[in-house]
């Protein structure tokens, strides 16, 4: 019995801001699973800023999506048919195989999720890749220490809101965040940021100077551009900048200029600036999961999602994400959580 | 009996390239040394690129030189009169008290130099601050490992020529250097660089691609600007850049633009870029001295100096240094080495 699936394919490589015409929803039929394969019905799929990079040809840390083929990305789902002894029917799994509602996958390409009683989508967010990104970036790459002052750009996103809260929970002296709307700024204050600003309200340099007049020890960057410029200026001697993202540049069609007076700032303050990619830090997964699960159970960590409903809305979700429409993790729900 | 000295004072803060009019040679008379003081007759003084920063007001890691006052800088000399039990007459000492021929100093502001049989000026170069800069920058900050490929900008200078040779002596797979003349390039090849280029011969990016077609693991930067841009492009995944200097920018009168596509390169290759200041690494002094002295004794390390004669020539030496006239350490000799 063939398996019907709907999949989002990349229709064209965008120049600048992606548009709905760059994507195409395709109906396909898969044959029954072969030996060693499972059929996964997706419960929710992730849209993430890094995916903008996969639409582009050229050297990157991840292979680009191919035009005319299904796009890849994190998803959680349920195994509805199994021909693998390792993954039973009914198992809840994490895969990198959305954007689609149903996929036939080799069992080794899914990871079974333990039953936690928590929403399944959190495995795409605070307990998943974005959470580990925040954890590894702040504690390992950023060498955060109790008493440090931290500035997070794009702080209301999935990664940023985790970074800020992790810093607070580990004894930061100050946690400053930037975001793109008054509502997000208000939410950052609610979840324990000591200061937050809307970057539309002036020059980032001035807003940061007001929010963190004494400077900061660690900068966690999701935005790039003017934010990076301002933060390098605000870092203390021996400050650390973790470069996790630069969403302000993702649709750039020209060469992006770098931070001004870079060498002079680097030397006079002996700054350490390091690029972050979560795949380098999977060895932290167990420690991360235990720590963050503990913060969730104790009620110390606030988790928020922005949820779009239905596979048809995956492209609007992604395009809105790139415009900053989300607070917390952006996910696309394809089916209710299984009981 | 008053002590006659000649001193270089800062006459004016330059805008852009310094000129001889920014300096003034002054004759002064000092009173006899007080209890705890020594009189030092300088044998040689150092001119270094970092001194351009001390001519400028504004935040920096070192206090600026004051207009109308004597300039400071490394020097070696001999104690010709002592009123301190700690420093005998005749002692050879290192001080931060040139630019002048004679100084009356508190004994705690001089450091006695052991008798090594090596030229005294080497304590201003390969066995002094520039040598320790190279050692700490390559091995600690740059986390150099045997088998790494290294690119050094401004490689024929005091620091650069040490970095390249230290890398070779510790088993680099390749050592590439840039310099500003065919003579310097030839010298770099003589002292064991596996490839070298004159940055006047084209775009640095192209020249580097030719010299290091397989890329590099560590970049040690003395030049900044186009060199930094090119090197970030040539670094491997997990590559390290050590920002030691940016002599191409020292006379800039405008904001210096930063490396292009910075965030994207940092993330896709998880680069680590770190500013270097030697004063953070004085704990390495003993290890550094033993290691480098060993390389000198075994004949493995080539040491070269560019020497200008006489205090009158201190300003030409400094201005020529900023234009890259030196090969190896630039020093100004004020008296012969004592027997």
- pLDDT tens, position by position, A118-150: 999 999 999 999 999 999 999 999 999 999 999
Residues B10-65 have pLDDT tens digits of 999 999 999 999 999 999 999 999 999 999 999 999 999 999 999 988 766 678 99
| B57 Cβ under 8 Å from any chain A Cβ | no
Q: Please return the burial class of B253, using the count of CB atoms within 10 Å of its CB with bins 0-12, 13-18 and 19+.
A: exposed
Distances (CA, A) of B293 to A249, B131, B148, B190: 49, 11, 23, 21
From B260, B269, B275, residue closest to A256, measured CB to CB: B260
Residues 6+ apart with CB under 8 A from B85: none
pLDDT at residue A60 is higher than 70 = no
Q: What is the mean pLDDT of chain A?
A: 95
pLDDT at residue B219 is higher than 70 = yes
pLDDT at residue A115 is higher than 80 = yes
| B264 Cβ under 8 Å from any chain A Cβ | yes
Q: What is the pLDDT of residue A86?
A: 95
Residues B94-148 have pLDDT tens digits of 999 989 999 999 999 999 998 888 999 999 999 999 999 999 999 999 999 999 9
Question: With an 8 Å Cβ cutoff, are A263 and B224 in contact?
Answer: yes
Q: Are B304 and B187 in contact (CB under 8 A)?
A: yes
Q: Are A154 and A184 in contact (CB under 8 A)?
A: no
From B244, B262, B275, residue closest to A258, measured CB to CB: B262
What tokens does A292 get?
């963050």
| A277 Cβ under 8 Å from any chain B Cβ | yes
Termini Cα distance of chain A: 26
| Cβ atoms within 10 Å, residue B251 | 14
Q: Please return the burial class of B273, using the count of CB atoms within 10 Å of its CB with bins 0-12, 13-18 and 19+.
A: buried
Q: Are A171 and A194 in contact (CB under 8 A)?
A: no
Residues 6+ apart with CB under 8 A from A18: A52, A55, A251, A318, A319, A322
Residues B208 and B151: their CA atoms lie apart, in Å, by: 9
Closest Cα partner for A330 from A305, A311, A303, A313? A305
From A249, A261, A272, residue closest to B274, measured CB to CB: A272
Give B136-140 contacts, CB < 8 A, sequence gap 24+.
Answer: B136/B276, B136/B278, B136/B280, B136/B281, B136/B284, B136/B288, B137/B163, B137/B220, B137/B242, B137/B244, B137/B276, B138/B163, B138/B166, B138/B167, B138/B218, B138/B220, B138/B242, B139/B166, B139/B170, B140/B281, B140/B284
Residues B280-310 have pLDDT tens digits of 999 999 999 999 999 999 999 999 999 999 9
Residues A5 and A310: their CA atoms lie apart, in Å, by: 14
Q: What is the pLDDT of residue A258?
A: 87
Instruction: Could you list the beta-strand ranges (E) of chain A.
Output: 3-10, 23-30, 37-46, 73-82, 92-98, 102-106, 110-112, 149-152, 174-179, 195-198, 216-221, 235-243, 272-275, 305-309, 329-333
Residues 6+ apart with CB under 8 A from B82: B33, B38, B39, B88, B89, B91, B107
Task: Let me know how long chain B is.
Answer: 339
Q: Identify the closest residue of chain A to B264 by CA–CA distance.
A: A246
| Cβ atoms within 10 Å, residue B275 | 28
- Helix, strand or coil, per DSSP, at residue A195: strand
Residues B224-246 have pLDDT tens digits of 999 999 999 999 999 999 999 99
From B260, B265, B275, residue closest to A271, measured CB to CB: B275
Give the closest-approach CA distance of B227 to chain A in angstroms: 11
Give the closest-approach CA distance of A27 to chain B in angstroms: 34
Domains of chain A: 3-125+304-333 (3.90.180.10), 129-279 (3.40.50.720)
Residues B144 and B240: their CA atoms lie apart, in Å, by: 9
Q: Are B303 and B159 in contact (CB under 8 A)?
A: no
| B251 Cβ under 8 Å from any chain A Cβ | no
Q: What is the pLDDT of residue A56?
A: 87
Residues 6+ apart with CB under 8 A from B61: A267, A268, A269, B277, B279
Q: Are A143 and A135 in contact (CB under 8 A)?
A: no
Residues B239 and B251: their CA atoms lie apart, in Å, by: 29
pLDDT at residue A308 is higher than 90 = yes
- Helix, strand or coil, per DSSP, at residue B178: strand
pLDDT at residue A61 is higher than 80 = no
Residues 6+ apart with CB under 8 A from A21: A11, A12
Q: Are B244 and B129 in contact (CB under 8 A)?
A: no
Q: What is the pLDDT of residue B59?
A: 62
Q: What is the mean pLDDT of chain B?
A: 95
Residues A337 and A6: their CA atoms lie apart, in Å, by: 19
B99: cis peptide before it, omega within 30°? Answer: yes
**Mutate: best of B56, B159, B262, partner A, most A CBs <10 A:** B262
Q: How far is CA B319 from the centre of its chain?
A: 14
Residues A95 and A7: their CA atoms lie apart, in Å, by: 15
Residues B136 and B280: their CA atoms lie apart, in Å, by: 9
Q: What is the pLDDT of residue A63?
A: 80
Distances (CA, A) of B136 to A237, A276, B47, B69, B275: 18, 24, 21, 32, 12
Residues B198 and B183: their CA atoms lie apart, in Å, by: 9
Residues A226, A129, A76, A106: is their CA dihedral positive or negative? positive
Angle at CA A138, nearest 5°, toward A325 and A264? 95
Q: Which strands make up the sheet holding A195-198, listed edge to edge?
A: A195-198, A174-179, A149-152, A216-221, A235-243, A272-275, B272-275, B235-243, B216-221, B149-152, B174-179, B195-198
**For chain B, what percent of residues have pLDDT higher than 70?**
99
| B60 Cβ under 8 Å from any chain A Cβ | yes
Instruction: List, in sequence order, the alpha helices (H) in chain A.
Output: 51-54, 129-135, 158-169, 182-190, 204-211, 226-234, 262-269, 285-297, 314-322
Q: Are A92 and A30 in contact (CB under 8 A)?
A: no
Beta-bridge partner residues of A100? A7
**For chain A, what percent of residues have pLDDT higher than 90?**
89
Instruction: Could you list the beta-strand ranges (E) of B187-291.
Output: 195-198, 216-221, 235-243, 272-275
| A255 Cβ under 8 Å from any chain B Cβ | yes
**Reported confidence tier of residue A59, pLDDT bands at 50, 70, 90:** low
| B279 Cβ under 8 Å from any chain A Cβ | no
Q: What is the pLDDT of residue A338?
A: 84
Q: What is the pLDDT of residue B60?
A: 65
Residues A110 and A37: their CA atoms lie apart, in Å, by: 10
Residues B77-89 have pLDDT tens digits of 999 999 999 999 9
Residues 6+ apart with CB under 8 A from B297: none
Question: With an 8 Å Cβ cutoff, are A273 and B273 in contact?
Answer: yes
Q: Are A40 and A77 in contact (CB under 8 A)?
A: yes
List chain A residues with CB under 8 Å of B277.
Answer: 267-268, 270
List chain B residues with CB under 8 Å of A243.
Answer: 262-263, 266-267
From B228, B264, B280, residue closest to A270, measured CB to CB: B280
What is the β-pairing status of strands A174-179 and A149-152?
parallel
């Amino acid at each position: 019995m063939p398996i019907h699936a709907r999949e989002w394919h990349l229709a064209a490589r965008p120049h600048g801001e992606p548009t709905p015409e760059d994507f195409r929803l395709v109906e396909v039929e898969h044959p029954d699973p072969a030996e060693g394969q499972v059929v996964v019905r997706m419960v929710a799929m992730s849209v993430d800023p890094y995916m903008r990079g996969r639409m582009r040809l050229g050297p990157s840390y991840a292979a680009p999506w191919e035009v005319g083929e299904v796009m890849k990305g994190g998803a959680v789902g349920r195994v509805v048919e199994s021909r693998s002894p390792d993954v039973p029917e009914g198992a809840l799994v994490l895969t990198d195989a959305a954007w689609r509602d149903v996929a036939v996958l080799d069992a080794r390409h899914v990871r079974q999720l333990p039953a936690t009683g928590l929403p399944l989508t959190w495995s795409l967010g605070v307990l998943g890749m974005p959470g580990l990104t925040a954890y590894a970036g702040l504690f390992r790459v950023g060498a955060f220490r109790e008493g440090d002052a931290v500035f997070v750009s794009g702080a209301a996103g999935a990664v940023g809101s985790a970074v800020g809260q992790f810093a607070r929970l580990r004894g930061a002296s100050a946690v400053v965040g930037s975001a793109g709307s008054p509502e997000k700024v208000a939410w950052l204050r609610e979840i324990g940021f000591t200061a937050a600003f809307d970057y539309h309200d002036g020059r980032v340099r001035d807003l940061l100077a007001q929010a963190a007049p004494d400077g900061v020890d660690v900068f966690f960057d999701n935005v790039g551009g003017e934010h990076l410029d301002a933060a390098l200026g605000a870092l203390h001697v021996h400050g650390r900048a973790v470069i996790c993202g630069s969403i302000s540049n993702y649709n750039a069609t020209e060469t992006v200029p770098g931070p001004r007076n870079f060498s002079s700032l680097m030397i006079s303050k002996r700054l350490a600036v390091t690029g972050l990619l979560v795949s380098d830090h999977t060895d932290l997964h167990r420690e991360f999961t235990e720590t963050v699960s503990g913060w969730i159970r104790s009620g110390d960590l606030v988790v928020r999602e922005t949820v779009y409903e239905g596979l048809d809305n995956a492209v609007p979700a992604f395009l809105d994400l790139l415009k900053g429409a989300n607070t917390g993790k952006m996910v696309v729900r394809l089916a209710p959580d299984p009981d």
